[in-house]
Amino acid sequence: MGDAEHRTAAAPVFVDERADGPGVVSFSENDPAAPFYRLLMKLRAPVAMRDMMIAPVRACYRGEGLTIDPSELPPGAAQLYPQVSVSTLAVPSDAGPIRCECFTPPGEGPRPMMLYVHGGGFVVGRSEDTAYLTSRIAAENNIIVVSVNYRWAPEWPFPAGLDDCMAVLLWMRDKGGEIGGDASRIVVCGDSAGGNLAAALTIRARDERWPLLAAVLLCPVTDFRFEQFPSFERLAPTGIVIDAAFMGFARGAYLTTQQQWRHPWASPALGDLHGYPRTIIISGAADPLIDDNRAFAEKLKAADVKVEHFIGNAMPHGFYFFPGLLSEADAAVAAIGGFLADALQR
C-alpha cells in the first residue's frame, strides 16, 4: 500500500462516498418486468423499499430539519480537548481511498495507536459523530486514534465495511510510523455496529497471523441471532436508542443471506475465540444487547481470554457519547483508561 495523504481538491472520491455498490438498486431494460419497474418509478420515489426506509433514517440521524439552541448542547470535542490535533488521512485500499480522522495528543516519540470504528447500524454514521469520545481517549491515554469512515450498507453489504477497516488496520501496521505511531502497540475499538466490526477485525487479524494487542468493545452486537436473548425480547420492542425494528432492518441491510449471520466475521461470538486479545466490553444494563454482551464475555473467558465487563447501571445503548451528562459515562471511560494502561503497559 502507498502512503496516506491529506486530501486535495483533485483527490479521488473516498470509498464511503461511492454510489456504485452491489446493493444499489438497478434493473436491466431487458428484464421482462422493466415496463412495470419504469411505471413504479413514476409512482413512488425512491422505488425500492430499502431506499424508502434508509432515507429517513439517515436524515433523522443527522438531525435534518431540527433547530437546536447551542446553549442546550454540551461542549464539543475541539472545545474540551484543544490540545488534540485532528487531521484527515486518505488511506489507500483496493476499493479507493478511505477517509480517516486522526486524533493526535501532544507529545513526541512513537505512541500506541487505536483504530476506532463508529457505529450506526452499518447504515449511518461518521467519524465526526464520535469526535468527543475519540478526542477524550486520545487525550487521556496518550494514544493516537485513527477513526475510519467505512462503506455503508445496504449499498455496500458485508464484508465491504469490514474490508475498509482491515485496510486501515494494515496501513497502521505498515505505515503507522508516519503519524507517530508504534506499530507494535495497536488496539481496536468500536461502538455498536462499530463494536461488531472491531470484534470481527480481531478475529480476522488473528487468522491472518497478526494478533492485536487489545480490543475495546462499546455496546457491540456480537451475534446476529439477537432475538434469542431475553434482554432483546424484553427491551427491544419499545427501545429508544435502538429497537427491534431497526435492528432487523440493519441486519438485513448488512447481511444479505441468513448463512452470513453465522459467519465469524459477522457474528464474532460464533467464531473460535482462542487467541483473542485481552478485551473490555462496555455495556448498559438497559440496552437490548446486554445479554448478547454478557454471553460474549463468558465465551471469551471460556477461551482463556482476559476480559473485563463494565455494565452501566440502568444505562441505554450508547450512553457514553455526551460529556458531563451521565456519571456512568465517566465511569465507563475511566474503565477504558485503566484497561488501556494495563494493556499498553505504560
Q: What is the pLDDT of residue 12?
A: 72
Rounded-to-integer distance, Cα 196 and Cα 121, Å: 10
Task: Look at strands 85-91 and 98-104 and give their pairing.
Answer: antiparallel
Say what the pTM is.
0.94
Kindly report which listed range (86-90, 107-111, 153-157, 184-188) carries the lowest average pLDDT score.
107-111
Which H/E stretch holds residue 136? Answer: helix 131-141
Please state which of the ranges 38-42, 117-121, 157-161, 168-172 shows the lowest mean pLDDT. 38-42
Q: Catalytic residue at 184?
A: no
CATH of domain 83-344: 3.40.50.1820
The answer, yes or no, to whether residue 30 has pLDDT greater than 80, is yes
Residue 8's pLDDT band, with cuts at 50, 70 and 90, is: very low
Known catalytic residue at 292: no
Residue 310 phi/psi, 5-degree rounding, is: -95, 125
Distances (CA, A) of 47 to 36, 44, 52, 123, 218: 11, 6, 7, 18, 36
Q: Of these residues, 16, 163, 191, 287, which one is catalytic?
A: 287
Number of H helices, E strands in the chain: 10, 8
C-alpha cell at 29: 431494460
DSSP for 151-188? PPTTTS-TTHHHHHHHHHHHHHHHHGGGGTEEEEEEEE
- Mean pLDDT of the 250-278 span: 97
Tell me the backbone φ, ψ of residue 216, rounded to 5 degrees. Answer: -120, 115
Exactly one of 192, 231, 267, 283 is catalytic; name it.
192
To the query of whether residue 6 is one of the catalytic residues in this protein, the response is no
How high is the pLDDT of residue 5? 52
Write down the pLDDT at residue 10. 55
Q: Provide the 10 A C-beta neighbour count for residue 275.
A: 13
Look at residue 288 and tell me whether its pLDDT is greater than 70. yes
User: 1 pLDDT band (50/70/90 cuts)?
Assistant: very low
Question: For the chain, what are the domain ranges?
Answer: 33-65, 83-344
